[in-house]
Amino acid sequence: MTAILRGYYWIHDRLFGALNHLAFFAPLLMRLYLAPVMLAAGLYKVYHLDAVIAWFDQGLGFPEPVVMAYLATYTELIGGFCLLFGLAVRWISLPLMATMVVAAVSVHWQHGWFTVAPSEPLRSVAKPLADIGIPAARESLENSLDVARRLQRAETLLQQHGNYAWLTEKGAFAVINNGIEQAATYFIMLLALLFSGAGRWFSLDHYLDSQARARLSAAASAPPAAVPASPSASGADSPATGLPGGE
């Protein structure tokens, strides 16, 4: 058994140990994936701030809709830039995660999990969950059958009464479900960045942190400054004799 473990770790350490030098790729790719998402969401809210405030107020019933709209807008906008440049990534992940939770609960929760409703039950990720008896997964599969019927009907109408080749030239039609899938995915990626940080390369966090720690290390290792001796300690003016040097 010992020989098997030694052989396993010999292979493991040489194979995966080399990947330590490339560990920065994972947080970098997550940052580059999330940054345009947050920037696009923030910029949209900036350009349509009045509509966002009205939606937060009348559509979602948020308290203090003006404050909430500004918080959501600039959290996403500033967060997008921070993710892009790798600046304060751990700090900005926290309000971005809170934004994803609010969006998931207030906007997407009632629509279930999927962003795009699946129309093939056998290929749905709900299938294995339904097989073990989870009721919500079974309902999802039934919904997939309903989606499939509606899509087939829509395709039939478009083929009969429209230029179907032109209509589908840019992609197939789908039913947007608007569930929590995307918000949950972004939350998980932000959670990973909260634990990992921005990464070693292409990151202002790493550069600033290394500079700050180098300065602190240099300050800690520097010899203490010499303290000038007090007159009484050096005996420059002895109170006993009143003469310089105590003479």
Q: Name the H helices within 162-203.
A: 164-167, 181-196
Q: In the structure, what pLDDT confidence band is assigned to residue 230 with cuts at 50, 70 and 90? A: low
Terminal-residue alpha carbon distance, the chain: 85
pLDDT above 80: residue 234: no
Q: In the structure, what pLDDT confidence band is assigned to residue 207 with cuts at 50, 70 and 90? A: very high
d(CA 41, CA 76): 7
**What is the predicted pLDDT for the residue at 22?**
83
Amino acid type, 81: F
For 63-76, the three-class secondary structure string (H helix, E strand, C coil) is CCHHHHHHHHHHHH
Q: In the structure, what pLDDT confidence band is assigned to residue 247 with cuts at 50, 70 and 90? A: very low
Which contiguous run of DSSP H or E holds residue 25? helix 25-47
pLDDT per residue as tens digits for the range 13-72: 888 887 888 888 999 999 999 999 999 999 999 999 999 999 999 999 999 999 999 999
**What is the predicted pLDDT for the residue at 225?**
64
Q: Are 69 and 49 in contact, with CB atoms under 8 Å apart?
A: yes
Q: In the structure, what pLDDT confidence band is assigned to residue 229 with cuts at 50, 70 and 90? A: low
pLDDT per residue as tens digits for the range 144-177: 989 999 999 999 999 998 888 898 899 888 888 8
**What is the predicted pLDDT for the residue at 232?**
54
